[in-house]
Amino acid sequence: MLRVDVFKQLGEFSVDVAFTSEGRVTGLFGSSGAGKTSLVSMIAGLVQPDRGIIAVDSDVLYDGSARIHVPPHRRRIGYVFQDARLFPHLSVAQNLDYGRRMNRLTRDPAEETRITEMLDIGHLLDRRPGGLSGGERQRVALGRALLSQPRLLLLDEPMGALDEERKAEILPYLKRLRDAGDVPMVFVSHDADEMRQLATQVVMLKRGRVAAFGGTEILPRIIPAA
Ligand SMILES: Nc1ncnc2c1ncn2[C@@H]1O[C@H](COP(=O)(O)OP(=O)(O)OP(=O)(O)O)[C@@H](O)[C@H]1O
């Protein structure tokens, strides 16, 4: 369960958003400037709301009135950005291990194997990020986030920088991850088709407000020209 009820003034723009999602993949959908990244930054703890509550299951990450603001590195939240942000000087295997080391978790070879198999990146372990395709890089970024054992995974336009062919290298894996159901995800996109394929609950944002909340049926449909 993800509960978000926050207000934040950002210059002339404000985010005033409340929803509770039980979905495996909560989609944040809206056009450019709707406030998606601002909201994700608050869930991650990178931006502090002016007031409100953010909770994952029974764990409160932010509560303005109780003065609770868990710092980002203590939230156990995995974050995958539009660009994979892998360390170029480290191998794929070292990149994958980074989240675990940062969180001082003990190695779990069975889990490493499960995740590299799920994401189909086992054959890339000795390579450097520079030699990978965009879709492969995003799979490694996903693996790195998952191996830090997050309780929530934030995916901010993970396919935003990829062309159609490269998107096909990541979308099936995101679906696989959703269907495995190990970790709830927040998926940000301005693409209704992507959202329809992945989200189980949709928060439609407009100008920093919730314009609609529900299943994927609330997403706009592109009606083909006759
Ligand atoms: N620190 C800030 N100060 C002032 N305005 C801000 C700040 N952060 C964000 N904004 C404004 O808030 C609005 C929402 O931005 P945000 O990046 O959250 O939207 P978005 O839906 O993620 O858009 P995009 O899809 O283009 O990334 C924008 O108009 C942006 O300029």
**3-state SS record for 75-127:** CCEEEECCCCCCCCCCCHHHHHHHHHHHCCCCCCHHHHHHHHHHHCCHHHCCC
This complex has an ipTM of 0.94
Q: How far apart are CA 179 and CA 174, in angstroms?
A: 9
Q: Running DSSP on this structure, what letter comes out for residue 128?
A: -
In short, whether 34's Cβ falls inside 6 Å of ligand 1 is yes
Choice from 6, 13, 188, 190 to test ligand 1 binding pocket (greatest atom count within 8 A of CB): 13
Take atom 28 of ligand 1 and give the residue whose Cα is closest: 33
Cβ(202)–Cβ(216) under 8 Å?
Answer: yes
In short, whether 33's Cβ falls inside 6 Å of ligand 1 is yes
- pTM higher than 0.90 for the full model? yes
Domain residue ranges in the chain: 2-217
Number of H helices, E strands in the chain: 7, 11
In short, whether 99's Cβ falls inside 6 Å of ligand 1 is no
Residue 198, Cβ neighbours under 10 Å: how many? 22
Q: What is the pLDDT of residue 223?
A: 65
- Residue 37 Cα to ligand 1 midpoint, Å, equals 7
Atom from ligand 1 closest to the CA of residue 157: 25
In short, whether 49's Cβ falls inside 6 Å of ligand 1 is no
Q: How far apart are CA 53 and CA 7, in angstroms?
A: 9
In short, whether 40's Cβ falls inside 6 Å of ligand 1 is no
In short, whether 29's Cβ falls inside 6 Å of ligand 1 is no
Q: How far apart are CA 139 and CA 99, in angstroms?
A: 14
Q: What is the pLDDT of residue 224?
A: 61
Pairing of strands 59-63, 51-56: antiparallel
Take atom 11 of ligand 1 and give the residue whose Cα is closest: 13
Cβ(154)–Cβ(106) under 8 Å?
Answer: no
Domain range 2-217, CATH architecture: 3-Layer(aba) Sandwich (3.40)
User: pLDDT 10s per residue in the chain (226 long)?
Assistant: 999 999 999 999 999 999 999 989 999 999 999 999 999 999 999 999 999 999 999 999 999 999 999 999 999 999 998 888 999 999 999 999 998 888 888 999 999 999 999 999 999 999 999 999 999 999 999 999 999 999 999 999 999 888 888 888 899 999 999 999 889 999 999 999 999 999 999 999 999 999 999 999 999 887 666 5
Q: What is the pLDDT of residue 225?
A: 61
In short, whether 80's Cβ falls inside 6 Å of ligand 1 is no
Q: What is the pLDDT of residue 28?
A: 98
In short, whether 190's Cβ falls inside 6 Å of ligand 1 is yes
